[in-house]
Amino acid sequence: MKKAAAVKPAKSVTKAAAVKPAKSVTKAAAKPESRTALVRRARRINRELAEVYPYAHPELDFENPFQLLVATVLSAQTTDLRVNQTTPALFAKHPTPEDLAAANPEDVEELIRPTGFFRAKTKSIMGLAAALRDEFGGEVPGRVEDLVKLPGVGRKTAFVVMGNAFGRPGITVDTHFGRLVRRWKWTEETDPDKVEKAVGELFPKSDWTMLSHRVIFHGRRICHARKPACGACPIAPLCPAYGEGETDPEKAKKLLKYEKGGFPGQRLKPPQSYLDAGGIPAPPLGATAPPATGE
């Protein structure tokens, strides 16, 4: 098997890849992994990802818990980028739960149309706004038990809000997270609630929120669904699925996305740490994206 070639870290997006070099990649013998070995490998992957993505963050733009709650509901079946391009107009017109609950549904549908499934989403976000107004004094509750009672809000959405708006640990099992933890053999579960439980048992609770961000970042940037960039992956030696994607280092570089490939990210207003790392803000809805600067 080919070794994953070293990839020289870059300080800005003028270089194609900014990942740690993978030392060597050797498939381990096909034997059962002990629980202790699994925990050690999982935690090492988390540490490696923390070095690669020190600026990992939620990729939905928000200024308060209400905005994050609505944006997360809107993110179903679409990209965070499209949500971020859509919500500025929505929140400018309906900045509070009271405003959104009293809105004309047809107006809201037009505002969120770019996110897809806009009729169902309008019903959900107006319903949750009314519930916040009527049952919680216009404030987003800080308990999972209360959040999941709101229209359109499941455990994934609740943990996004808890972890990022209230600073309370939670694991966000989105499509990327579920796909990667199965590739890494952390769990074979496919049900999000079971994935959440299985992965949560591998890590201390204090790691859960940032672990979610790092895994999702890695899934969007390197470990893609159809063609993972194995040859540019910093955790290749730890990955049981190495070789499922492109292992040639030069070809793998061309698959990198966002700050590692010089492309705009998901957020219109990303954290400063992301910008300092060379990340580029996403363009507003209808604007032309800036050209990629990666090699």
Amino acid at 19: V
From CA 140, how far away is CA 149, in angstroms rounded?
Answer: 12
Tell me how crowded residue 284 is: count the other CB atoms within 10 A of its CB: 11
Residue 3 annotated among the catalytic residues of the structure: no
Report residue 253 as tokens.
Answer: 């570089």
Catalytic, 156? Answer yes
Output phi, psi for 95, to 5 deg.
-75, -15
Which of the following is catalytic: 61, 80, 174, 207?
Answer: 174
> Which of the following is catalytic: 15, 121, 156, 260?
156
Cα–Cα dist 264/257, whole Å? 8
Check: CB of residue 169 under 8 Å from CB of residue 205: yes
Give every CB contact of residue 294 below 8 A, 6+ residues apart in sequence.
Answer: 13, 14, 15, 16, 256, 260, 261, 262, 263
Q: Encode 234-271: b = buried (16+ Cβ within 10 Å), e = exposed.
A: bbbbbbeebbebbbebeebbebbbbbbbbbbbbbbebe
Which residues are marked as active site?
156, 174
